[in-house]
Every structure is written in C-alpha cells, then in structure tokens.
C-alpha cells in the first residue's frame, strides 16, 4: 500500500514539475514572440506612416495608428519628436508632455555617457523595454529627403533621426492567455496523475500487492504456529520463487517440529516411564511373592486358586511391561560402523524368515545397485528392520508378500529403506499415533513400544521414519538414513 | 544346620516378599529395614548370607557390602536390584556379592540364587574368586563365578557357565535355551538351567548379541555342561554387538599354562 502511495506521489511530482517548467518556457517563448511582433509592428508602422508624415497629415496618421492599435491589441501608440515632445498619441491625453532624457527611447542614440550614435549607424535598430506589466517598443524614425521639403522638420536636418514611434502593449492580454494555458496544463497534469496513479495502483496491486499480502498472511499464520499452511501462490517470477521457498521452509519447519515433538515426547515419556517403573518394582515384588505363596497354599480345587493364578500371571505381565519400559528408557549408546544397506536387509531377513510366523509370508527384496554405505549401529538398525518386518507379518495373518526395498534419495545423500505389506492397513485417524510409546492396536500382545523404539533409534541416527497406509491397501514404512560421510570399510 | 540369613531392605513389603519366597527352605531369616541396623546385627551375630537391596536411603547396598567385607570376610551376599545392569552387578560382585537378583522376582528366581550361593564354600571372597575359579584353558572373560565368554573371531564369541557356577547347581536335568536369532543382553538372563532338585537357575549373559548357535550336544546330554562347563559344555555362540565396550566390564582370566 505504501509503495503504491509513494509511486503515485513521485509520479504526480514529476508530472507537476514538467508542467511548471513547460509553462515557464512557454511564457518566455511567448514574451519573445510578442516582443518580435511588437518590433515588426513598429517597423511596419514606420514604413506605413512615412507618406502621411511627409505630407504632414497628422489626422490621417492618428487615424492610422488608432486603427492599428485597435486591431493589434496595442493599447497605445505614440509618435514622439526628437526633443522628446509628444506629437501624436492614441490615448491622446499626454499631448504636450516630454520624455525624460534618460528614457529608454532616447538612449538608443544618446548613451548615458553622452556619446551619440549617428543615424547612419542605427540601421533597423529598435528597442523593447518591459516596464512593469507593459512592453514598450521604441523605433527611431530616420530622416529622409522628403522630410525637409515641408515645414515640419526643416530644423532637424543636422540630425539623422526625427523622433520615435513608441508602441506600448499591455501584457495583461498575454498574462491572461498564459493563465488560461496554465489552467489547462494543470488540469491535464492532474488528470494524468490521477489516471496514471490509478493505472499504477491497479497494476502494482495485481502484480505485487496481492501476492505480498498473501505472503504476509502466510508469514503471520506460520509465526502463529500454523506450520502446515502453504501460500497458494503459483507464479513464475521472483514472488513465486519467494512463495515456493517460503512453502518449502514451512514444510521443513513443520517436519523439524514434528521430529522435535516426537523425540521430546519419547524422552519425557521414557523418563516418566522409568520413574514409574522403578516405583512399581517394590509393590510388584510384594504382589508377586505373596501371590505365589497363596497359589501354593490353596488347593487346586479351591475357587480361590484360580484367582491366585491370575494374580501371579498378571504380576508377571506387569513385570514384563516394566522391563520393556526400562529398556526403552535406557539410553543405549550406539556403536557405529560403515555397513552396506543390503547386508542390513539380508541379515534381518535371515533372522526371521525361517520362523513359524513367516511360514505363509514371501519376502521380496529390491535393492538399488551400488548403494553407498551407512555409518550406523548395525544391531540397532537391524532391530528397526526386524521390527518393521514383524509388524508387516502381523498385518497379514493369512499370509502374503512383504516387499523390502532400499534406494538412494535426496541426491544420494540418504538411503531409504521401505518395508511394504499387503495387509489390512492403518486407519488414518491412528496413523500419526503409531510411533507414540504405548500405542498399540494389538491389545495384550504388544507393549506398544516397538515403533517408538524404532523411531528413537532412527532419530538417534539422524534419520526419519514415515508411514504410508490405506485401509485394505497395505502399509509402507520408510526409514531414511544419512549415508556415511566418506567411503570406508564395511563392518564385515 | 539351619543357615542364618539377614534380609535388608528399606521397604517392608520387600522384606516380606523375600521371607515368603524362602519360607519353605530351612533358613533362619531375620530382617532389617536399614543398613545401619543391619551392621549392628552383623556385629552381634554371625550370618551365612545377607540379602540386601541396592538402593536404600542412608547407607546404600554397595556401601553395606563394602562394610561387611571389611569387617568380616566370608559372609556371602546377594544383591537385589531394580536395574539389572551389568555395571552395578559387577560392582556388587567386586564388593563381595556372590550374585544378584532383579526385582520383582519369582520365588523360583530368588530361591535358585540363594540355594546356589549357600552351596558355595563360605570362604573369603577375594580368595574365593581366585581359588574356586578353575583356570580356563583359553583366554576368557567372566562375570566372576557366573558366566564366561571366549572370543572365537571378531564376529563370534562362545558363552558358557563357569565351573564355580556349575558346581553350585547340583545335577543338571535340562536346559532352557534361547532361540537362534534372538538378541540377548549383557547382564540379563540368556538361558535357564533346570537342576534335578527342581530348581530352575538363570544364567546372565556375559555379552550382548544375537544367538548364532546353541550347543545341541549339551541339550542332549546336560551332563557335559556339568563335567566340562568351560570346555565341551559351552552353551551358546553369539554374534557380539558391542564387544570392545562390554569386555571392559568383565574380568579377564588368563589361560592355564600346562
């Protein structure tokens, strides 16, 4: 918004400045034109009046100059004698007055220093003077042979100049015309500013303001914590790039936050669980021990015997849960080595493929050739793969095919393992919860720690784990791990 | 002769649990709720066995063991621990504990350890370790008086029970072996041994790793394990996971020079 405003202001200033300078220039051009016109008129008048003057017909001359004055907007034409005395004037009232010796008309020949320019050197000299709001032109009238034959200028023969024709033009007419032009140009500039400003506002708004607002809205939403928000801006220009980078940043932030929340939850739940597990040990010791004693002491036919059996069995189950919890909470330092991804897969498959649960399961392997080595704890990563394989098997109680894949990703910087089953799939509402500690759909058969442990291990290796699933379509778990920094020896 | 046993734990329910678990054995059981009181009792009477918790307010289990060893050699001890880690177990063993039991325990688990420990000669523990640990025929690493491992290659170790452990079992009737492919952890139960007297004993693994092989010969004839526990009577072959680190927690035993 501010950008648009500033652009409009600058545009108006440029247009206004242009108009102002243009007017000034026009005024000076106009003044020059008027001056030239006035001089031309004085020349024309001088020539036109010659006959009347030689014939000494002042009424005719006066009528001529009055007609000229009327037709040309010259508000006063005077004929002045050599001595400065007014001979004829269109306004008439100054008759008998004299010009001062220093008056502009006199200094054409008579300089202030006293020198006199002879008439022969004057040529077509004339003078214009801006006197207040009046432009005055003085045209010396040179003497000619005909002038002396009459009685008028017999005494003026020694001097080549008989007098002056003075034309006075009131510049109000010019000013009025200029003012009209100013008004027109000003209106034009204003109109141009408004139209240009609107066009500019519209163009900028379409091109920048709207996308910028969307960017801003996106930034606000993300800073308010909505990291999943994506700016719906599809453009090929820089703004499109900004939006794309922004969306990608949002995605990375969201992923990082998810990872952080997951691992924080793992850690805090682990700590809590360890604390609880530790506190439960002593009471559980009592329950188990006295339960066993009661079981021993009751006759198997006694209905209480069954109850004691349950107490013992469930205490042992509690003990298993507590132990798994402690295992889970224990920070296991990993021992890393460079290993080949295909070896990790092969060893994991070898361990389980001959077990009873995998009787009806076919395991397919598809490993990209020449995969880079991974710098990982082989035992822990095998544990992850094993866990995923067992989960895949459990999703297909009637049997089926498990596909295990490994391929490069992220431009060869990571290797992604995929374990895919044809099982029942995971409903969307619980898909995000499968990595939570103690979350299980196999009530009583699973501690709900398997995938949480996997997540912990993978995160410790700087990797990530994802699940993709559709009900009835099967589930794919993808584990992405960074490759070893430099090629090294295999762990084998 | 009835063995005199002192049980030390700050929680009464655990004292009761221990007494209850051992009620059929011919033992004279006394209990104490603090290490201080236990030391007082130990000063006044002579006990064959002390069963003590590891974590107690004031003087804890390890310190109690230390004081027992300093004051009077030959009192055997069993450590009860909530955290079955090899580190605390080994620490306890160095301080004179013969064995350790993980809470919560079944009657069977506690009784098997008590029976085994009471069968061992009540000698000075330091000397006990030396004299009653028969020399191995090759370089082995042990949880003293319990289990051993021998390094076959970087990827395979053999695991068995020590002669001292085997001697305390009596006649072996059967073995509960882990399945090939399962993962065992150092200091945790890796297999069970059933004695003829009906008691089932647990063996703690000296190393973490995946089970590669179990000794079928021993399953067929458990007598081999009884007669040659450190030779033909080996029990498991493991693919070790963290061998370098784990060896540091074990006691190396030099091979016997003929």
pLDDT band at B127 (very low <50, low <70, confident <90, very high): very low
In sequence order, the 6+-apart residues with CB closer than 8 A to the CB of B204 are: B86, B89, B143, B146, B147, B187, B188, B189, B190
Helix A238-297 and helix B107-119: axis angle, to 10°? 70
How many C-beta atoms lie closer than 10 Å to residue B61's C-beta?
A: 26
Pair of tokens at residue A96 = 């008998």
Is residue A161 within 8 Å of residue A105, measured between CB atoms? no
pLDDT on residue A385: 93
ipTM at complex level: 0.84
A290–B20 C-beta distance less than 8 A: yes
Pair of tokens at residue A285 = 């010791």
Least trusted range by pLDDT, from A60-64, B69-73, B107-111, B208-212: B69-73
Closest CA to B142 of B21, B257, B254: B254
**Residue range A355-380: mean pLDDT, rounded:** 89
What distance in Å separates residue A303's CA from the closest CA in chain B?
22
Strand partners, A376: A337
**Residue range A198-219: mean pLDDT, rounded:** 80
Of the partner residues A278, A292, A352, the one whose CB lies closest to the CB of residue B181: A352
Closest CA to B252 of B150, B156, B122: B150
User: For the segment B27-59, what is each residue's pLDDT rounded down to a tens digit?
Assistant: 999 999 999 999 999 889 889 899 998 888 888
How far is Cα A88 from Cα A76, in angstroms, rounded to an integer? 10
Q: Which chain A residue shows the shortest CA-CA distance from B55?
A: A278
Pair of tokens at residue A304 = 């209480």
B245–A288 C-beta distance less than 8 A: no
pLDDT on residue A1: 61
Closest CA to B111 of B53, B179, B24: B24
Global confidence as pTM: 0.58
pLDDT band at A491 (very low <50, low <70, confident <90, very high): very low
Contacts of B209 in chain A (CB under 8 A): 379
Is pLDDT at A447 greater than 60 in this prediction?
Answer: yes
Interface of A with B (CB under 8 A): 278, 281-290, 292-293, 315-316, 319, 322, 326, 333, 335, 350-352, 355, 379, 383
Is pLDDT at B12 greater than 60 in this prediction?
Answer: yes
Contacts of A292 in chain B (CB under 8 A): 20-21, 106-107
B242–A379 C-beta distance less than 8 A: yes
Least trusted range by pLDDT, from A3-7, B38-42, B199-203: A3-7
Contacts of A322 in chain B (CB under 8 A): 104
CA-CA-CA-CA dihedral for B225, B228, B229, B231, to nearest 10: -120
Closest CA to A53 of A178, A125, A151: A151
Is pLDDT at A402 greater than 90 in this prediction?
Answer: yes
**Considering chain B, what is the average pLDDT of its residues?**
85
User: For the segment A333-364, what is each residue's pLDDT rounded down to a tens digit?
Assistant: 677 888 999 999 998 888 788 777 888 899 99
**Residue range A423-443: mean pLDDT, rounded:** 82
User: For the segment A76-88, what is each residue's pLDDT rounded down to a tens digit?
Assistant: 888 888 777 777 8
**What SS3 class is residue B184?**
strand
How big is the A-B interface in CB pairs under 8 Å?
70
A383–B181 C-beta distance less than 8 A: no
CA A87 to chain centre: 79
Asked whether the bond before B104 is cis by omega within 30 degrees of 0, the reply is: yes
pLDDT on residue B126: 46
A290–B104 C-beta distance less than 8 A: no
The winner for highest mean pLDDT among A187-191, A311-315, B238-242 is A311-315
How many C-beta atoms lie closer than 10 Å to residue B108's C-beta?
A: 16
B138–A contact, CB cutoff 8 A: no
A285–B242 C-beta distance less than 8 A: no
Q: What residue has token string 């001089």?
A: A39
Closest CA to B60 of B90, B80, B74, B44: B80
Q: Which chain B residue shows the shortest CA-CA distance from A335?
A: B242
Top pLDDT among A72 and B135 is at: A72
Top pLDDT among B26 and B97 is at: B26
The winner for highest mean pLDDT among A13-27, B212-226, B244-258 is B212-226
B198–A contact, CB cutoff 8 A: no
What distance in Å separates residue B82's CA from the closest CA in chain A?
7
Q: In whole angstroms, how large is the CA radius of gyration of chain B? A: 18
Which of B12, B86, B104 is the mutation pick for testing A, counting most A CBs within 10 A? B104
Is pLDDT at B205 greater than 70 in this prediction?
Answer: yes
Is pLDDT at A331 greater than 90 in this prediction?
Answer: no
Contacts of B82 in chain A (CB under 8 A): 278, 281-282
Least trusted range by pLDDT, from A134-148, A175-189, A289-303, B193-207: A134-148
How far is Cα A58 from Cα A324, in angstroms, rounded to an integer? 136
Contacts of A281 in chain B (CB under 8 A): 82, 103-104
Is pLDDT at A316 greater than 60 in this prediction?
Answer: yes
Listing DSSP states for A405-457 in one string gives EEEEEGGGTEEEEEEE--S----HHHHTTTTSTT--SSTTT--S-HHHHHHHH
Is pLDDT at B141 greater than 70 in this prediction?
Answer: yes
B227–A contact, CB cutoff 8 A: no
User: For the segment A251-293, what is each residue's pLDDT rounded down to a tens digit?
Assistant: 888 877 777 777 677 677 777 777 777 788 889 999 999 999 9
Contacts of A491 in chain B (CB under 8 A): none
pLDDT on residue B174: 92
pLDDT on residue B129: 46
Q: What percent of chain A shows pLDDT beyond 70?
A: 90
- What's A105's DSSP letter? T
Contacts of A383 in chain B (CB under 8 A): 183
pLDDT band at A365 (very low <50, low <70, confident <90, very high): very high
How far is Cα B246 from Cα B250, in angstroms, rounded to an integer? 7
Contacts of A350 in chain B (CB under 8 A): 181
Least trusted range by pLDDT, from A366-370, A388-392, A426-430: A426-430
Q: What percent of chain A shows pLDDT beyond 90?
A: 18
Residue A263: phi and psi, rounded to 5, are -70, -35
pLDDT band at B234 (very low <50, low <70, confident <90, very high): very high
A319–B242 C-beta distance less than 8 A: no
pLDDT band at B93 (very low <50, low <70, confident <90, very high): confident
**Is residue A24 classed exposed, middle or buried when 0-12, 13-18 and 19+ CB atoms within 10 A define those classes?**
exposed
Pair of tokens at residue A24 = 């000034």
Give the N- to C-terminal CA distance of chain B in Å, as an integer: 40
Residue B251: phi and psi, rounded to 5, are -100, 120
User: Which stretch of DSSP H or E encloses residue A382?
Assistant: helix A378-394
Top pLDDT among B83 and B257 is at: B83
A351–B181 C-beta distance less than 8 A: yes
Residue B197: phi and psi, rounded to 5, are -75, 5
**Residue range A382-401: mean pLDDT, rounded:** 90
Q: What is the largest CA-CA distance in chain A?
A: 175
pLDDT on residue B41: 92
Is residue A319 within 8 Å of residue A288, measured between CB atoms? yes
Strand-pair category, B76-81 with B49-53:
parallel
Strand-pair category, A464-470 with A474-482:
antiparallel
How far is Cα B54 from Cα B35, in angstroms, rounded to an integer? 10
Is pLDDT at A7 greater than 80 in this prediction?
Answer: no
Alpha helix segments (H runs only) across B174-253: 216-220, 223-227, 243-247
pLDDT band at A488 (very low <50, low <70, confident <90, very high): very low
Alpha helix segments (H runs only) across B95-200: 107-119, 125-131, 163-167
pLDDT on residue B124: 44
């Amino acid at each position: 918004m501010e950008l648009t405003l500033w652009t409009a202001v600058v545009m108006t200033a440029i247009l206004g400045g242009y108009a102002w300078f243009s007017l000034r220039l026009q005024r000076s051009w106009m003044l020059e034109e008027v001056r030239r016109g006035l001089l031309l008129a004085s020349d024309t008048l001088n020539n036109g009046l010659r006959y009347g003057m030689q014939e000494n017909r002042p009424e005719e001359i006066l009528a001529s100059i009055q007609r000229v004055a009327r037709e040309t907007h010259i508000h006063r034409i005077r004929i002045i004698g050599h001595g400065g005395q007014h001979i004829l004037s269109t306004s008439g009232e100054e008759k008998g007055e004299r010009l001062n010796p220093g008056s502009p008309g006199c200094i054409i020949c008579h300089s202030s220093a006293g020198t006199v320019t002879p008439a022969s050197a004057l040529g077509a000299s004339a003078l214009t003077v801006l006197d207040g709001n009046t432009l005055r032109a003085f045209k010396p009238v040179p003497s000619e042979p005909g002038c002396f034959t009459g009685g008028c200028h017999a005494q003026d023969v020694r001097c080549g100049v008989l007098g002056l024709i003075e034309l006075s033009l009131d510049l109000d007419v010019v000013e009025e015309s200029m003012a009209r032009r100013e008004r027109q140009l000003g209106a034009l500039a204003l109109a141009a500013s408004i139209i240009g400003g609107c066009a500019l506002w519209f163009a900028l708004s379409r091109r920048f303001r709207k996308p910028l607002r969307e960017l801003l809205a996106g930034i606000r939403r993300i800073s308010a914590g909505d990291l999943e928000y994506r700016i719906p801006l599809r453009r090929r220009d820089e703004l499109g790039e900004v939006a794309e980078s922004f969306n990608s940043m949002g995605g990375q932030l969201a992923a990082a936050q998810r990872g952080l929340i997951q691992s924080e939850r793992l850690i805090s739940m682990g700590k809590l669980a360890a604390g609880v597990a530790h506190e439960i040990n002593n009471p559980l010791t009592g329950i188990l021990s006295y339960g066993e004693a009661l079981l021993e002491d009751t006759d198997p036919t006694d209905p209480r015997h069954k109850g004691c059996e349950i107490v013992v069995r469930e205490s042992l189950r509690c003990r298993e849960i507590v132990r798994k919890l402690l295992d889970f909470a224990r920070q296991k330092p990993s021992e890393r080595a460079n290993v080949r991804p295909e070896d990790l897969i092969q060893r994991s498959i070898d361990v389980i493929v001959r077990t009873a649960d995998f009787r009806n399961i076919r395991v397919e392997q598809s490993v990209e050739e020449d995969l880079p080595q991974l710098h990982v704890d082989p035992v822990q990563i095998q544990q992850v793969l094993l866990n995923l394989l067992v989960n895949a098997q459990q999703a297909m109680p009637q049997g089926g095919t498990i596909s295990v894949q490994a391929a490069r990703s992220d431009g060869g910087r990571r290797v992604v393992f995929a374990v895919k089953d044809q099982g029942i799939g995971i409903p969307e509402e619980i898909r995000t919860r499968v990595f939570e500690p103690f979350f299980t759909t196999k009530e009583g058969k699973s501690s709900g720690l398997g995938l949480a442990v996997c997540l912990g291990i993978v995160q410790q290796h700087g990797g990530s784990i994802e699940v993709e699933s559709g009900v009835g379509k099967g589930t794919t778990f993808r584990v992405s791990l960074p490759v070893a920094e430099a090629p090294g020896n295999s762990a084998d | 002769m009835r063995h005199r046993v002192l049980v030390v734990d700050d929680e009464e329910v655990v004292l009761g649990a221990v007494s209850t678990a051992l009620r059929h054995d011919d033992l004279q059981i006394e209990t104490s709720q603090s290490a201080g009181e236990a030391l007082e009792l130990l000063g006044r009477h002579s006990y064959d066995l002390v069963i003590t918790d590891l974590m107690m307010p004031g003087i804890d289990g390890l310190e109690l063991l230390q004081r027992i060893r300093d004051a009077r050699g030959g009192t055997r001890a069993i450590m009860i621990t909530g955290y079955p880690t090899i580190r605390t177990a080994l620490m306890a063993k160095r301080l004179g504990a013969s064995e350790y039991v993980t809470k919560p325990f079944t009657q069977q688990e506690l009784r098997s350890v008590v029976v085994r420990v009471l069968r061992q000669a009540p000698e000075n523990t330091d000397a006990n370790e030396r004299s009653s640990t028969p020399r191995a025929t090759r370089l082995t690493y042990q949880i003293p008086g319990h289990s051993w491992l021998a390094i076959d290659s970087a990827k395979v170790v053999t695991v068995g029970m020590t002669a001292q452990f085997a001697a305390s079992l009596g006649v072996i009737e059967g073995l509960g072996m882990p399945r090939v492919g399962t993962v065992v952890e150092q200091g945790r139960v890796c297999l069970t041994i059933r004695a003829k007297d009906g008691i089932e004993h647990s063996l703690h693994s000296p190393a973490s790793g995946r089970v590669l092989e179990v000794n079928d010969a021993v399953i067929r004839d458990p007598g081999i394990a009884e007669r040659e526990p450190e030779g033909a009577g080996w029990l498991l072959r493991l693919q070790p996971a963290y061998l370098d680190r784990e060896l540091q927690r074990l006691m190396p035993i030099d091979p016997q020079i003929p």
